[in-house]
Amino acid sequence: VRIAVVVVARPGADGAPALAALRAAGIADAEVVAMPVPGAWAAARNAALDRAAQHDVLALVEDDVRVDPGWGEALRAVWAGPDAAILGAAGGPLRATSAPAWLVGDHAEVLALHDGDLSSGPFPGGNVAFRVAALRGVGGFFPARGHDAGRDTVGEDRRAQRELEAVGWRRAGVAALSAARDLSSLHPTDLLRRRLHTGARTATLAARGGGRSGLGLVARAGAAAAARVVRGDPAGALDRIAWAAHGAGAVLGPALAHGELQPDRDRTTLRADVAAPEPHPWAVAPRAARAARAFARREGRVHGAVLLYHRIAELGSDPLRLAVTPEHFAQQLAVLAERWTPAPLESVATGEAGPHAVAVTFDDGYHDNLLHALPALATAGVPATLFASTGHVASGEGYWWDAVTALLGPAADGDGGGVLAIDLPEGSRAWAPAGAGHRAAVRAHLHAALRTRDRPAIVAALAALRTWGDAACESPGRDRPLTVDELRRLATAGPFTVQAHGRTHVSLAHAPAGSRDDELEGCAEDLGVWLGTAPTAFSYPFGVPGVDVDDATKDAARAAGYRFATVNAPGLVCSGGDPMAIPRFAVPDVGGEAFARWLDAVLPGR
Ligand SMILES: [Zn+2]
């Protein structure tokens, strides 16, 4: 077992004492990773994970943690079981050693000394070891935003441990992996700062705001502190002041904690699809943008909306929400024709079609677009644009995400395969799913991991997935793309204009310039040969701005001769908008009434 041991050091902290303790425990080659800015735990831990790419195990200690003499031997000796991915010290919390005399009261949680009940809770991040491939499988460390439980008040190391358990890995406690935290250099202001931030994070993540109780805590703890000063009990007073700081943090809430709870995208190299950080709640920009939208609407500068569909089909399970049922689609089109102005994409983009204009678009080119969408569009008299992925049409090969969904779906029973390992260019990633719940979580991780890959990597990953799983779960017939002949029939039948979606459905912002240009130009060539006309519009595969589409992508699409391009991000089409980044609303699979309410909320109908 190749083990990387990394000391994560806060800015200005000295990693030497922690290294000395590791050396005494037989670990001679530990490294120190310095945190770039205070509080950037995820960034520092992900940097450690990057360094451990050639290792099987990543063990993390913090700068104030001193491992026990038997720690190194224990770590080398036990790598418990094939399904264990997280090892920590069992039988007790990370002990405090050399605590200053002024530290009284219960500040254990904020100092991450323990995490409650160790039989069920995660191990403290100051002394925990991970199976590297498993940790890479779930995307490394990630700040707490969006955590389901909303209780992740201590750190992203907890979040990573929960993710690992959600995809089937086990935690194992090892008594000999014990360590102590040296608090002798802890300064009272450190304690107060940490309590302030913990209060803010707790309040921000709690379902209800902590403002009122925060104020109450400040008042009560402040009064108690004053009483203890009077009684000549300075340590007790400091304890109460620390609680008052916690309450003050709760009052400040998101204003203080916001930054700490945002995705750490720059240093989360394993997650290309991380959402962009949300704007600070006090930021001026989003308010200005809202005001500008309202102004644009008043001034009659709204051109309309573009809808995004993929499939019209009845699918048993559709976790990616690609399908609308034929029944719902017919109802949606009837509502659209009655209350809005269905119009071709280009006349919505240019504003010719009036303020109630709505364009219908389809991405990818599934065969059910011919089978179910075409007759419904013809009946309702609604025009539509199909963005076809011509490599799939030419080869007949299905889309990789359908294989991933099927092989890891609720009907699959590939658990006999044990650990699922996928080799990617930068290292192996692995999951240990047992049961449908784990498989669903693995599916989401694998989808995110493959999304920005080139074709050879995706082909290799699918081969590994099929070896692990049960290929009989796939429905290649149900999920197939249109054939060239079917695409011709669809293009000449009336409602549909066929446009371009690239050849092999790769994320263009992640593709090298040469293959990006092949995708853009080759797709236009294919459509020109098959249909006799060159496409004028392009839909970027996956299409999320900032992830799959950047400025270079838009420039390349323009250079390839496209006049319009659509992205996969909600928004109205307005005059002065970027014609190479037309926003679209992904349509939910709902009936006519719900569809009308949904669309009315963004673009009021007639
Ligand atoms: Zn697509």
How confident is the model over 451-467, as pLDDT tens digits?
A: 888 889 999 999 999 99
Q: How far is the CA of 362 from the centre of ligand 1 (A)?
A: 9
Residue 502 makes CB contacts below 8 A (sequence gap 6+) with: 389, 390, 391, 508, 519, 520, 523, 538, 540, 541
Q: How far is the CA of 322 from the centre of ligand 1 (A)?
A: 10
- Greatest pairwise CA separation for the chain in angstroms: 92
Q: How far is the CA of 538 from the centre of ligand 1 (A)?
A: 11
Q: In what order do the strands lie in the sheet with 179-182?
A: 65-67, 179-182, 95-97
Q: How far is the CA of 594 from the centre of ligand 1 (A)?
A: 25
The 8-class DSSP code of residue 172 comes to: E
The 8-class DSSP code of residue 181 comes to: E
Q: How far is the CA of 277 from the centre of ligand 1 (A)?
A: 24
Integer CA distances (angstroms), 196 to 6, 218, 586, in order? 28, 11, 41
Q: How far is the CA of 539 from the centre of ligand 1 (A)?
A: 8
Q: How far is the CA of 436 from the centre of ligand 1 (A)?
A: 26
Q: How far is the CA of 350 from the centre of ligand 1 (A)?
A: 24
Q: How far is the CA of 501 from the centre of ligand 1 (A)?
A: 7
Encode pLDDT of 518-553 as tens digits. Answer: 999 999 999 999 999 999 999 999 998 988 999 999
Q: How far is the CA of 365 from the centre of ligand 1 (A)?
A: 8
Q: How far is the CA of 574 from the centre of ligand 1 (A)?
A: 24
Residue 386 makes CB contacts below 8 A (sequence gap 6+) with: 361, 362, 365, 369, 490, 496, 497, 498, 499
Give the per-residue pLDDT at 382.
97
Give the per-residue pLDDT at 187.
85
Q: How far is the CA of 48 from the centre of ligand 1 (A)?
A: 35
Which residue positions in the chain have pLDDT lower than 50?
A: 114-118, 144-153, 208-209
Q: How far is the CA of 274 from the centre of ligand 1 (A)?
A: 19
Q: How far is the CA of 286 from the centre of ligand 1 (A)?
A: 29
CA contacts within 13 A on the Cβ side of 379: 13
CA 200/CA 206 separation, integer angstroms: 10
Task: Identify whether the C-beta of residue 487 lies closer than 8 Å to the C-beta of residue 429.
Answer: no
What are the backbone angles phi and psi of residue 481, rounded to the nearest 5°? Answer: -80, 170
Q: How far is the CA of 57 from the centre of ligand 1 (A)?
A: 37
Tokens of 555: 């420039």
Q: CA 168, 174, 176 angle in degrees (round to 5)?
A: 160
Give the per-residue pLDDT at 360.
98
Q: How far is the CA of 420 from the centre of ligand 1 (A)?
A: 26
Q: Is 410 helix (H, G, I), strand (E, B) or coil?
A: coil
Q: How far is the CA of 387 from the centre of ligand 1 (A)?
A: 8
Q: In what order do the strands lie in the sheet with 127-131?
A: 31-34, 3-9, 57-62, 127-131, 84-89, 170-174
Tokens of 180: 């102590």
Tokens of 369: 């677009």
Integer CA distances (angstroms), 88 to 92, 103, 210, 497, in order? 10, 26, 33, 59
CA contacts within 13 A on the Cβ side of 61: 32
CA 554/CA 570 separation, integer angstroms: 18
Give the per-residue pLDDT at 435.
86
Residue where the block lists tokens 């075409």: 374
The 8-class DSSP code of residue 582 comes to: B
Query: Could you tell me which of 262, 255, 246, 248 has the C-alpha nearest to residue 111?
Result: 246
CA 22/CA 6 separation, integer angstroms: 10
Q: How far is the CA of 363 from the centre of ligand 1 (A)?
A: 5
**Helices within 366-435 (DSSP H only):** 368, 374-380, 390-395, 400-407
pTM of the model: 0.82
